[in-house]
Amino acid sequence: MKHILFDLDGTLTDAGEGIINCAALALRTLGLEVPPRDAMRVFVGPPLRQTFQEFGVKSEDVERAIEIYRSRYVPKGMFENTPYPGIHALLAALKEAGHRLYVATSKPESMAIAILEKYGLAPYFDRICGATMDSSRDSKEKVIGYLLEQTNAKDSIMVGDTAFDVLGAAAHGISTIGVTWGYGTAEELTRSGAKCLANSPTQLLNILL
């Protein structure tokens, strides 16, 4: 495949600490119980509007929860984050082999760009596409659709760590390689239709080449 779409959180970078800290602040501020951190790992990847409701936030309070979350995330939380070992080498090798690389994330696009620039990953990508700050483009399916509209990324393959990546790509006829170092499980990825799994960036590189 010459066009490779990458998820961000849980695939390129380990964003769990910042996301969980900000989600906990929102729940606590709204007077809700803050579950153990392991239970809150599901905040990494899916759209916030969906996940907050799963943790007891009433529909009329979801936008307030997101506002509280972002009040901490934008100045601090998004940089409580680090690239997974081997990611720089993976991306460099794929570029050298002639592939065109893209990011498709349900994180707001401006935040995704800031994170990728901070950690030196942005130059590897031909286009970085993310969600809007409102609900007009807030799912992986919508983000991938937007990316395809903006680029000539035909005959693509997706790389991601959760079922949201697999299903979002499948809606556009794109297959997904699931990575097991992120926040989904091998069982979840396989059940949702991932074509195959990679257990390390080195193994992913071998599959893609």
Q: How far apart are CA 60 and CA 48, in angstroms?
A: 14
> Mean pLDDT, to the nearest integer, of 20-32?
97
Active site residue 138: no
Look at residue 46 in the predicted model and tell me its pLDDT.
Answer: 84
Distance CA(66)–CA(69), nearest Å, equals 5
Distance CA 156, CA 154 (A): 5
Q: pLDDT tens digit string along 98-137?
A: 999 999 999 999 999 999 999 999 999 999 999 998 889 9
Task: Specify the pLDDT at position 152.
Answer: 83
Superfamily of domain 3-13+84-208: HAD superfamily/HAD-like (3.40.50.1000)
CATH 1.10.150.240 in the chain is located at: 16-79
Confidence of residue 153 (pLDDT cuts 50, 70, 90): confident
- Residue 54 half-sphere exposure toward CB, CA atoms < 13 A: 13
Q: Which residue in the list 7, 9, 14, 161 is annotated as catalytic?
A: 7
Q: What is the CATH number of domain 16-79?
A: 1.10.150.240
For range 168-188, the mean pLDDT = 97
C-alpha distances out from residue 123 to 88, 91, 139, 206, Å = 11, 10, 25, 22
Amino acid in the structure at residue 174: I
Q: Return the pLDDT at 105.
A: 96
Query: What are the pLDDT digits (tens) for 49-82?
Result: 989 999 999 999 999 999 999 999 999 999 999 9
pLDDT at 164 over 90: yes
- Give the burial string for 174-203 (b: 16+ CB within 10 Å, else e): bebbbbebbbbeeebbeebebeeebeebeb
Q: What percent of the chain lies above the pLDDT cut of 90?
A: 92
pTM assigned to the model: 0.91
* Per-residue confidence (pLDDT) for residue 1, from 0 to 100: 64
Q: How far is CA 126 from the centre of its chain?
A: 17
As a whole number of angstroms, the distance between CA 96 and CA 68 comes to: 42
What residue ranges of the chain are covered by domains with CATH 3.40.50.1000?
Answer: 3-13+84-208
SS3 128: strand
